[in-house]
Amino acid sequence: MTSRLGRCFAAVLFALTAACAFAQQRPVRVLVGLAPGGAVEMVSRLYADKLRAALGQPVIVENRVGASGLIAMDALRAAPADGSVLLFAPNGGITLVSQTFRNPRFDPFKDVVPVAMVALVDIVLVVNAALNAKSVADFLALARSEARYRNFGSAPGTIPHLAAALFADAAGIDALYVPYKGAGQAIIDVLGGQLQASVVTSGDALPLHRAGKVRLLATFGAQRSPLMPDIPTMKESGFPLEVSGWFGFYAPAGTPAPTVERIGRALLEASRAPDVRERLAAVGMEAAGRLSQEVSIIMRSDYETWRRAIKIAGLQPQD
């Protein structure tokens, strides 16, 4: 009898060990709601490679494109809450999209749990290099004297668009919003002088600023960026505005806290790697390692910022 029990115990132990080994080798899928190519694709795969090495599991990036990231969000919500499926997304895709669609199909505070923030991108005020404005104060003097300096261009419903609305409101200027399909088109018109100013991401404007083709007047970040230490913040320029773009990983709601912690710690370590920092800096981003609890607080703050900005901008929900 003892021998039989021993054999049964050994069989159960073997089965459990085999199951654990299988689970450890099961691929982790990282969903990305944006089209392949570009900086976002690079960042998602950069961290996926680091995550693969840290977890000892295959990590596969899957593009689920459509509906401003909602297709990828739908897939995440339908996934098992066990750490096997993650979402990589910009903060606007979580706390902004959930307020700009009439039926967003998800609640950012009930349907997902943040795992880690991994990258930051500054929002900047950029003007034509020939403009007689070396500071925000100079620019506002022009904007108050002539209507054409109050034209701002960006893609509608984006973080840069809302940052521009917050700035115009804080500065007390009656800005005219000029919609563009993307930041690239707005920057081209700033270069050509058809548009005097725009609010864009640092990745879009920093190379042109360094080449002397446009001028950055201020960033919307909480502090000066190490990528452009000579550019003051909006706070330093007299306006208490803090708006930034960032990227993070998310898991389905209900994912066990130890699993979120384990993956988050791996991403935190990845953000400290010199090669990660160098590759992010090359596209105008900073590495950021913040874990779930802190990211949850930032999400709440972002949500309130977008809610106020949406009202100021007069944005209507999309269908």
With 70 as the cut, is the pLDDT of residue 25 above it? no
pLDDT score of 280: 95
pLDDT score of 46: 97
What's the pTM value of the predicted model, to 2 decimals?
0.89
Q: In angstroms, rounded to a whole number, what is the distance separating the alpha carbons of residues 312 and 319?
A: 20
Give residues with Cβ within 8 angstroms of 112, minimum separation 6: 73, 76, 77, 87, 94, 106, 250, 251, 252, 253
15 — pLDDT class (breaks 50, 70, 90): very low
Tell which CATH classification among 3.40.50.2020, 1.10.1070.20, 3.40.50.720, 3.40.190.10 matches the domain 122-219: 3.40.190.10
Tokens read off for 139:
């620019």
With 90 as the cut, is the pLDDT of residue 4 above it? no
Tokens read off for 132:
């007689």
pLDDT score of 18: 36
Handedness of CA 310, 118, 274, 40 (dihedral sign): negative
Question: Do 26-120+245-313 and 122-219 have matching folds?
Answer: yes
At the top level of CATH, the class of 26-120+245-313 is: alpha beta
Mean local confidence (pLDDT), 17-22? 39
Q: In angstroms, rounded to a whole number, what is the distance separating the alpha carbons of residues 82 and 164?
A: 40
Which whole-number Å values give the CA distances from 147 to 104, 130, 140, 143, 238, in the listed order? 37, 18, 11, 6, 22
Give residues with Cβ within 8 angstroms of 295, minimum separation 6: 114, 115, 116, 117, 248
pLDDT score of 36: 83
Which whole-number Å values give the CA distances from 199 to 5, 114, 218, in the listed order? 71, 27, 10
Q: Where are the domains of the chain?
A: 26-120+245-313, 122-219
Mean local confidence (pLDDT), 47-72? 95
Tens digit of each residue's pLDDT (9 = 90 or more) over 251-279 = 999 999 999 999 999 999 999 999 999 99
In a 3-state reduction of DSSP, which class is residue 176? Answer: strand
Tens digit of each residue's pLDDT (9 = 90 or more) over 165-190 = 999 999 999 999 999 988 888 989 99
What is the DSSP secondary-structure string of 47-77?
Answer: HHHHHHHHHTS-EEEEE---GGGHHHHHHHH
pLDDT score of 2: 47
Tens digit of each residue's pLDDT (9 = 90 or more) over 215-232 = 999 999 999 999 999 999
Tens digit of each residue's pLDDT (9 = 90 or more) over 82-129 = 999 999 999 999 999 999 998 989 999 999 999 999 999 999 999 999
What is the DSSP secondary-structure string of 196-261?
Answer: SEEEEEHHHHHHHHHTTSEEEEEE-SSS--TTSTTSPBTTTTT-----EEEEEEEEETT--HHHHH
Q: In angstroms, rounded to a whole number, what is the distance separating the alpha carbons of residues 284 and 110?
A: 32
Mean local confidence (pLDDT), 147-163? 92
With 60 as the cut, is the pLDDT of residue 192 above it? yes
In a 3-state reduction of DSSP, which class is residue 161? Answer: helix
